[in-house]
Amino acid sequence: MNFKPKTENYKQKVEESFRLQKFMDFIGAKLVEVKPGFCEIHLPYKEELTQQNGFFHAGIISTLADNAAGFASFSLMEEDSSILSVEFKLNLISPGIGELLIARAKVLKSGRTLTICRADVFILKDGVEKLCAASQATLIQIKNSSETKTEK
């Protein structure tokens, strides 16, 4: 799966969109890598992000998976377009016990309207990565000129 971006500045586009997401700053997530059809996001452990047992909250894990999928897909979209998540499904595989969450997403199919993506979330503990969650997502490209921006 080697993808060719439709715009030269695909990386800038993704970085700018990530920067505009105040929620990423609020939780402390970092955009670590963007390649055509690929995205990696990191999130260091903070007590504020935990569920009842002190592990990373499932909502945080799904946030990272959804965002990595979104930006991996966005990297392949046209210049004057936005992106919206249509849906995603996430399996929680191991508890989020560790110092860093790592989400990596890869595009499976980049269609004219819809993009299908898989994102895996790993938990880093004592230097060892473990699969924490696995997801599969559908995203839609929205042309910026169109009035359908908020209507899928």
Span of 4-12, 32-40, 82-90, 121-129 interacting with a copy of itself by CB under 8 A: 82-90
Rule CB under 8 A: choose which of 11, 42, 85, 106 binds a copy of itself.
85
Pair 58, 51: CB distance under 8 Å: yes
Site for a copy of itself in 4-23 (CB under 8 A): 17, 20-23
Sign, CA dihedral 131-133-137-141, equals: negative
Report the nearest approach of a copy of itself to the CB of residue 141 (Å).
11
Query: Rounded to an integer, what distance in angstroms lies between the CA atom of residue 129 and that of residue 124?
Result: 4
Using CB under 8 A as the binding rule, whether residue 26 contacts a copy of itself is answered as yes
Query: Rounded to an integer, what distance in angstroms lies between the CA atom of residue 106 and that of residue 73?
Result: 8
Site for a copy of itself in 40-59 (CB under 8 A): 47-53, 57-59
